[in-house]
Amino acid sequence: MSGEEIFDLIKKQISDDNVVLYMKGTADFPQCGFSAMVAGILQTLGIKFKDINILSDENLRQGVKDFSDWPTIPQLYINKEFVGGCDIVREMYENGELSDLLKKSQNKGAQQLDEETESSAGAVTEKG
């Protein structure tokens, strides 16, 4: 895969879910302490998130670092925005910023869903 193809894949992944965690291993079986910590924080907060194991694809592993211009894994994205790695996420969790950001994310996701439902409902015509 070319660098451009990897970036396109990452853009799709962070668009498909409100909260995406690029990590070593999976949320159920993390393969690094830092990844385990961030996944654990999200689970403690009761947040539904997409975990993507970067160890399964070397191109993705490097591509994620290039995409965010951040040298380490894990990497957390909320609403298509890069939030940070383990230290930043832990600090945001401890001072309450992460909860606030995630609440806004959930509200934004619900609002987008409402807008999509309304536009879909407007497209339905009744025959009488």
Q: What CATH number is associated with residue 44?
A: 3.40.30.10
Residue 77 lies in a domain: yes
pLDDT score, position 52: 98
Q: How many independent structural domains does the chain possess?
A: 1
Assess if residue 128 is contained within a domain: no
Containing structural domain, residue 57: 3-106
Q: Is residue 126 part of a domain?
A: no
Sign of CA dihedral 89, 92, 97, 98: positive
Residue 110 has a pLDDT of: 52
Q: What is the pTM of this model?
A: 0.82
pLDDT value at residue 33: 98
The reported pLDDT for the residue numbered 87 is 97
CA 104 to chain centre: 14
Query: Average pLDDT per run of 10 along the chain, which is 128 residues long?
Result: 91 96 97 98 95 96 96 97 97 96 74 47 44
Residue 98 belongs to some domain of the structure: yes
CA-only gyration radius of the chain, Å: 17
Q: Which residue has the tokens 């909260």?
A: 19
33 within some domain: yes
Q: Please name which of 56, 89, 49, 95 lies closest in space to residue 72, comparing C-alpha atoms.
A: 89
Of 63, 65, 105, 101, which is closest to residue 85 (Cα–Cα)?
65
Residue 22 lies in a domain: yes
